Structure 1
Amino acid sequence: MKIITPSSAELTLGRAATPIAFIRAIVLGYRARGMDPARALQQAQIPPQALDDPQARVTAAQMEVMSGIAMQELDDEALGWFSRRLPWGSYGMLCRASLTSPTLEVALKRWCRHHRLLTDDLTLEFSQQRNMATIRIAEARDFGDMREFCLVSILRYLLGYVSWLIDSRIALSETSLPFAAPPHADAYPYLFPGPLRFDADAASFAFDARYLSLPLRRDERALQTMLQRALPLTVLQYRRDRLLVHSVSQILNTSPGFAHTAEDVAAQLNLSVRTLHRQLKEEGISLQRLKNEARRERAIKLLLQTRKPVKQVAAAVGFDSEKSFSRAFREWTGVPPGQFREGASGV
């Protein structure tokens, strides 16, 4: 597979926020294999003396180049963390194994289960309690000086990948890390937005379980493109949050005949009306369109699954008259409700 990397001019552009500690961890992987990291450092434009400066930072592009070259030179996508190498394409295999999942929940369960095929040095555990979903890492060996980089990378890559799968930000309720806050702890909010807890029992992150029912929005072609530059997933922050559209749709579908106002919907989501409209606009959709979709789906269900007269169907989905309902239904489907029902029954 051809790997697309940032150009030399792009390497030092942007904010240098990645701690040099993560670069040092990659260098440890080289040294553990008796190899020289000089070429990777040179290509990433990272001066060797920066490795000894605990305050030094590199850009995301420099990190991407350093990691990409190291993975190929070491023939190890785990960069030396595990007791055996993960050959090039290992994590791509995990991506493909979860890509056809119907929902985020199934994708996460597949990822955690299939990760055990790669290594026994740690396991990824998925759990759901009440309204919270959690991904937890159970360590089975001492990772030494590579521990921080290993745990952070695994959690952040999985978070980036599943966010990419549903094309949405996933708001974290908490991220827990089983080590003391490092000198570069100020970099962590960029990797894991939301509450952070150090000195925890295990590495984990938790989020609202409602995300689990969201459908995946990517296909094989999109995956091929993403894998050419997979590392940016570890720093990419999505602006949109598709859970909002999902939540609004659930409210509307619960009672499609009710005249939901923006104030009513916003109150149920603990948002201001202004924020509701703004976030829906960012998703390229409006509250009225979601209302129409809920009415349409309910109307189609009633027409196909019951013998209710069209007038009663119209009232059930919130229309004052059969005439206005028929006009709207024709706009939705291209045919009036009576003809739609007859056509379906004749199939």
Structure 2
Amino acid sequence: MAYVTSLFARKMVAAAGAGIDQRATLEGAGLNPDAPWDPKVMIPATTYYEMLEDMAEQTDVTELPIHVGASMRCDEYGALGLAWKAAPTLGASCARIARYARIWTGVVTYELREHPQGTLFILHREGERRLGLRLSNEATLASAVALARQVCPVPFSPLAVFVQHKAPESKAFHEAWFECPVTFGADLDAILISREAMERANILGDEGISRYLMSDLDGELARVQMPPAVVGQAKDAIAQSLNAGTPRMADIARGLGLSARSFHRRLSEHGMSFQALTEETRRELAEGLLRDEQYSLAEVAYLTGFSEQSSFTRAFKRWLGTTPASYRKALS
């Protein structure tokens, strides 16, 4: 079963204010209204979605997810929030969320993808596009922008925001808060961030603190990850096929003795997508190969499925916020 942190549920209820019966809503989600807010207390994702849908029957929730996203603070995310603040650039901050999000949630994965105008910070959440999931996606996108505004030395706004579900009756509030065009009915849930913004130094960027925090997060991720057999097998198969280019899901599924549909469902049960799993495998393989001096940067690029070293360099910088050469130099 997939879980989300109770912090999001409590934030949603608080933001709804007098429009709902807050105490009954929290109790209905299995939370003690009088207990301290502990982000490590988790609730089933389906319970969270049902709670949001019940709230929608009591009050207008059009603006609710934006209010909740705007209220998020780096410090509320514990070590992950500190790692976001201490990263040298916004690009590195986003890379850390993409890498460590599984510590906080089993239903969402993140991807950084190149775009002609910059970088797409993409939210992947599998499941039926029910109202609760849609509201949760909007809040997640808004929280990413809110956190970016807390670390940027100049006012930050994305170039564009994309949302897969249909638009509310008015999207004026969304566009006013994001300060950019918001496209509903898109083919992905994402924020488009300019290259300039991604490369700009964070206010509190600190390499020493970053190394300490990332070491701590790596340990925590290892404890919560414990990938099921199908994920481990898939990653092995992906790694072995990367030197022939980006693998196809149908081919990997066939090699595991599964249909593409069954493979997709098995990954979704663990809050993962094939695209995100391929990116994760590429990154992990690249990190491992860069630790071995016998492989040139061009060879590492080839073995991780890139036809050109420049494409590998851009992807690696998107993953870890630094270039492969700088990463190798830091290791030595």
Fold agreement, TM-score > 0.5: no
Report the TM-score range of the alignment, normalised by the length of the smaller protein: 0.3 to 0.5
Which protein is richer in helix relative to its size? 2
* Rg larger in structure: 1
**1 or 2 for the larger relative contact order (CA 8 Å, sep ≥6)?**
2
TM-score by length of 1: 0.40
